[in-house]
Amino acid sequence: MLTRLSAAAVLLAVVLSGTAAAVPPPPPNPSDAEISASRAEADAKAARVGELTGRLTQAEARLQELLDHVSYKRELANKARVDFETAVAEAEAARREAASARTQADAASRAVEESRKALDEFVAASYAQRSTVGSISAYFGAKSPEDLLARAQMLEAVSSSSLNALEQVTRDQGAAANLDSAARAALKRAEEKQTAADEAKRVADAAQQEAVAAHQAQASATAELESTKDSVERELVAARGEVTGLEAQRRQYDQWLDGKKREEEENARRAEAAAAAAAAAPPAPAAPARPAAAAAPAGSRVQIVINRALAQRGVIYAWGGGNHYGPTYGVRDGGVADSYGDYRKIGFDCSGLMMYAFAGAGVFLPHYSGYQYNAGRKVPLSQMAPGDMIFWGPGGGTHVALYLGGGMMVEAPHSGAVVRISPVRYGGIMPYVTRVL
């Protein structure tokens, strides 16, 4: 009886440790409340982005209106400047015309005075000699008929030329006075135009400055609004990534739960079969010595790598940190990492996390993503499977993460962050993943 029970126990142990791979430890299982809260936050961010997009559209339209207004005011200012320059030129020409007319009027006045003076002298002399024009006394003293005729012709010529000259000078004086009056009127009108143009220029310049100030203020407000929108959009991307990550965790947990259930059912079935076989089996001879255990199958090793990486979620990022045995102090980089104090933190960088994860499966990677890129077989990105390393940058030297499946990965992202699950980012990604197991 004892021999039969021992044989049954051995058979049961063999059945339970058969070729079926054991289900790994359970992955995280976010609650429904966590997933709902994450979705609500993402929806709120999306609504906020929509609101900001609408406001930004209105702001940009207003900005264009103000820009058009500035252009219009600038053209008005240009017009005012042209009108002002024209008015100044007209006023200057009117001043020159008035000065010329005044000069002509002054000259005509002097000529009239001189003609009057000469005529007065002639009349006075004729009166003193009793030889005025039309008087018979002007002919007394003539010594011959020729002298008498000469006196008559002289008196007639003097009288006629003096009177004609006086009449012409008087006409010239009147014309000059009229010209001077017209020039003064033109000058007054030109000066009034200049004054009006000067005021229009001042008003136009002020309006242009006001329009430019309004445009600058709107441009500043629009830029601030656009910056806010960009910030909220980044928050939306992060929120959606969080939702995707939690949903992926839930799917992964559900898959694990299904696998665990199948494992338990299979174990129960095999246990029943083993018990039945043990009951019917004859006494077994002593079992020979068991050979050494074979290496774990690749699927189990992949799950070990994934589990080790996932177990480090929440560990702080430290540039240069991490090795085959766990997180370590970071190192100085003389730049960004130092500004975050990474050299004072105990954590992982991206390649350090890969070192720790794969060391659990007996694979010891170097601490550089570029070398890790060449540590295994290259597989097209479209064929990547859980446990593959994903790389970014030339030769994979920028960043590395571990693919989990379902479009998700685990990574140590950057200074200031922690080890986390994230959706796969395709910007700058290498076209091949590296499969080590």
Residue 106 has pLDDT above 70, yes or no: yes
Condensed to tens digits (0 to 9), the pLDDT of residues 239-275 reads: 888 888 888 888 887 887 777 678 767 766 776 676 5
- pLDDT value at residue 74: 61
Residues linked to residue 400 through DSSP beta bridges, in sequence order: 391
Catalytic residues: 350, 399, 411
CB 360 within 8 A of CB 304: yes
CA distance readout (Å), 413 to 22, 228, 315, 318: 31, 25, 11, 10
With residue 410 as reference, give the H or E element that holds it: strand 408-411
Q: For a pLDDT cut of 70, what percent of the chain falls above it?
A: 77
Distance CA 212, CA 73 (A): 9
Sheet holding 420-423, edge to edge: 377-380, 432-435, 389-392, 399-405, 408-411, 420-423
Residue 262: the pLDDT is 82
Tell me which CATH code domain 297-437 carries. Answer: 3.90.1720.10
The whole-number pLDDT of residue 9 equals 45
Among the residue ranges 196-205, 264-273, 284-293, 311-320, the one predicted with the least confidence is 284-293
CA distances from 74 to 41, 195, 215, 247 (A): 48, 21, 13, 58
Who wins on pLDDT, 272 or 99? 99
Structure confidence at residue 100 as a pLDDT band (50, 70, 90): confident
Cβ(194)–Cβ(91) under 8 Å? yes
Examine the pLDDT at 194 and tell me if it is beyond 70. yes
Q: Reply yes or no on whether the pLDDT at 366 is more than 60.
A: yes
Q: If pLDDT is split at 50, 70 and 90, which confidence band does 4 have?
A: very low
Tell me the helix, strand and coil percentages in the chain, rounded to 5.
65, 10, 25
| CA gap 330, 318 in Å, rounded | 5
> Quick one: which of 278, 286, 344 has its CA closest to 316?
344
Backbone angles phi, psi at 6, to 5 degrees: -65, -40
* Radius of gyration of the chain, Cα coordinates, nearest whole angstrom: 56
Spatial separation of the C-alpha atoms in residues 329 and 324, rounded to whole Å: 13
Higher pLDDT, 333 or 321: 321
Q: What local confidence, expressed as pLDDT, does residue 207 receive?
A: 86
Lowest-pLDDT choice from 42-56, 164-178, 411-425: 164-178
Q: How far apart are CA 395 and CA 378, in angstroms?
A: 12
pLDDT tens-digit series, residues 113-143: 887 787 677 657 665 655 454 455 555 566 6
Query: What's the confidence (pLDDT) of residue 326?
Result: 96
Of the chain, the percentage scoring pLDDT greater than 90 comes to 34
Do 84 and 201 form a contact (C-beta atoms < 8 A)? yes
What phi and psi, each to the nearest 5 degrees, are found at residue 280?
-95, -10
Residues 334/278, Cβ–Cβ less than 8 Å: no
For the cut 60, the answer to whether the pLDDT of residue 295 exceeds it is no
Q: How confident is the model at residue 294 (pLDDT cuts 50, 70, 90)?
A: very low
Higher pLDDT, residue 238 or 348: 348
Report whether pLDDT(26) > 90.
no
Same fold, 24-288 and 297-437: no
Look-up of token digits 């430290």: 318
Query: 24-288: what fold?
Result: Helix Hairpins (1.10.287)
Domain map (residue ranges) of the chain = 24-288, 297-437
Asked if residue 373 lies in contact with residue 396, where contact means CB atoms within 8 angstroms, the answer is yes
Q: Of 410 and 188, which is predicted with more confidence?
A: 410
Whole-structure pTM value: 0.37
User: Using one digit for the tens of pLDDT, what is the confidence trace for 39-88?
Assistant: 899 999 899 888 888 898 898 888 888 877 777 786 777 788 788 888 88
Determine whether 30 is exposed, middle or buried from the number of CB atoms within 10 Å of its CB (0-12, 13-18, 19+).
middle
Q: Which helix (H) or strand (E) holds 167?
A: helix 145-280
Quick check: 344 pLDDT over 60? Answer: yes
Q: Is the pLDDT of residue 209 over 90?
A: no
Q: How confident is the model at residue 12 (pLDDT cuts 50, 70, 90)?
A: very low
Average pLDDT, the chain: 81
Determine contact, residues 80/124, Cβ cutoff 8 Å: no
Q: Which of 287, 301, 312, 284 is nearest to 435 (CA)?
A: 301
What is the pLDDT at residue 95? 87
Ranges of H-type helices in 281-349 = 298-310, 336-339
